[in-house]
Amino acid sequence: MGTIILGTGSCLPSRVMSNVELESIVDTSDEWIRTRTGIENRRIGGTGEKTYQLAASAARNALEMAQVDAEEIKLLVVGTVSSHMLMPSCACYVQNEIGAASAFAYDLNAACCGFLYGLDAGDRYVRTDTQSKVLIIGAETLSSRVNWQDRNTCILFGDGAGAAVLGHSDDSERKIIGTNHRSDGGLWDLLYMHNAPSQNPDLLVEDNPGAHIIMEGREIFKHAVKAMEEAIFGLFKKTGLSIDDVDVMIPHQANFRILNKLLERLEIPREKVVLNVMHYGNTSAASIPIALDEANRAGRIEPGSTVLFCSFGGGLTWGATLLSW
Ligand code: ACO
**Binding site membership of 226 for ligand 1 (Cβ less than 6 Å):** no
Tell me what pLDDT residue 304 has. Answer: 92
Mean pLDDT to the nearest integer, 63-79: 98
Using CB atoms within 10 A of its CB, is residue 158 exposed (0-12), middle (13-18) or buried (19+)? buried
Domain boundary among 169, 203, 236: 169
Does 200 lie in the same domain as 125?
no
For residues 274 and 247, the answer to whether their CB atoms sit within 8 Å is no
Alpha-carbon 20 to chain mean position: 26
**Binding site membership of 214 for ligand 1 (Cβ less than 6 Å):** no
Other beta carbons less than 10 A from residue 274's beta carbon: 21
pLDDT tens track for 156-195: 999 999 999 999 999 988 999 999 999 999 999 999 999 9
Classified as helix, coil or strand, 104 is strand
Residues 6+ apart with CB under 8 A from 265: 225, 229
**Ligand 1 center to residue 227 CA distance, Å?**
19
**How many domains does the structure of the chain reveal?**
2
Domain boundary among 115, 135, 169: 169
**Binding site membership of 217 for ligand 1 (Cβ less than 6 Å):** yes
Tell me what pLDDT residue 172 has. Answer: 84
Could you confirm whether 96 is annotated as catalytic?
no
pLDDT at 207 over 90: no
Residues 6+ apart with CB under 8 A from 127: 2, 3, 168
* Element of type H or E holding 6: strand 2-11
Tell me what pLDDT residue 237 has. Answer: 98
Q: How far is CA 112 from CA 80, 139, 290, in A?
A: 8, 10, 13
Residue 17 CA to residue 319 CA, distance in Å, equals 30
Question: What is the DSSP secondary-structure string of 205-235?
Answer: PTT---SSEEE-HHHHHHHHHHHHHHHHHHH
Classified as helix, coil or strand, 88 is coil
In the set 168, 181, 223, 252, the catalytic residue is 252
For residues 325 and 5, the answer to whether their CB atoms sit within 8 Å is yes
Does 221 lie in the same domain as 302?
yes
User: Percent of the chain at pLDDT above 90?
Assistant: 98
pLDDT at 43 over 90: yes
Domain boundary among 100, 134, 169: 169
Does 58 lie in the same domain as 193?
no
**Ligand 1 center to residue 155 CA distance, Å?**
9
- Report the range of poorest mean pLDDT among 74-78, 112-116, 205-209: 205-209
Does 114 lie in the same domain as 67?
yes
Residue to mutate (ligand 1; options 22, 31, 36, 40; most atoms within 8 A of CB): 36
Alpha-carbon 241 to chain mean position: 24
Tell me what pLDDT residue 314 has. Answer: 98
Across the chain, mean pLDDT equals 97
pLDDT at 284 over 90: yes
Residue 85 CA to residue 273 CA, distance in Å, equals 35
Classified as helix, coil or strand, 67 is coil
pLDDT at 1 over 90: no
Does 304 lie in the same domain as 196?
yes
For residues 31 and 17, the answer to whether their CB atoms sit within 8 Å is no
CATH code (residue 253) = 3.40.47.10
Nearest CA among 230, 239, 10, 265 for reference residue 140:
10
Does 195 lie in the same domain as 161?
no
Q: Domain range spanning residue 125? A: 2-169
Residue 50 CA to residue 246 CA, distance in Å, equals 35
Q: Cα angle at 119 between 298 and 75, to 5 degrees?
A: 110
Tell me what pLDDT residue 77 has. Answer: 98
Could you confirm whether 154 is annotated as catalytic?
no
Nearest atom, ligand 1, residue 213 CA: 47
pLDDT tens track for 243-276: 999 999 999 999 999 999 999 999 999 999 999 9
Q: How far is CA 116 from CA 24, 43, 77, 196, 275, in A?
A: 35, 22, 11, 27, 17
Does 187 lie in the same domain as 319?
yes
Confidence of residue 105 (pLDDT cuts 50, 70, 90): very high
Could you confirm whether 112 is annotated as catalytic?
yes
Residue 228 CA to residue 207 CA, distance in Å, equals 32
Mean pLDDT to the nearest integer, 46-73: 98
In the set 19, 61, 180, 282, the catalytic residue is 282
Q: Whose CA is nearest to atom 36 of ligand 1?
A: 217
**Ligand 1 center to residue 83 CA distance, Å?**
26
pLDDT tens track for 287-322: 999 999 999 999 999 999 999 999 999 999 999 999
Residue 56 CA to residue 306 CA, distance in Å, equals 28
Nearest atom, ligand 1, residue 224 CA: 51
Nearest atom, ligand 1, residue 258 CA: 39
DSSP at 204: P
Left (φ > 0), alpha (ψ -120 to 50) or beta: where does 111 sit?
left
Does 79 lie in the same domain as 10?
yes
Instruction: Kindly tell me the sign of the dihedral angle through the C-alpha atoms of 64, 68, 71, 74.
Output: negative
Residues 6+ apart with CB under 8 A from 207: none
Residue to mutate (ligand 1; options 219, 220, 222, 317; most atoms within 8 A of CB): 220
Does 316 lie in the same domain as 179?
yes
Does 165 lie in the same domain as 251?
no
Classified as helix, coil or strand, 107 is strand
pLDDT tens track for 106-137: 999 999 999 999 999 999 999 999 999 999 99
Nearest atom, ligand 1, residue 254 CA: 50
**Ligand 1 center to residue 34 CA distance, Å?**
12
Does 108 lie in the same domain as 257?
no
Q: Whose CA is nearest to atom 11 of ligand 1?
A: 152
Does 209 lie in the same domain as 111?
no
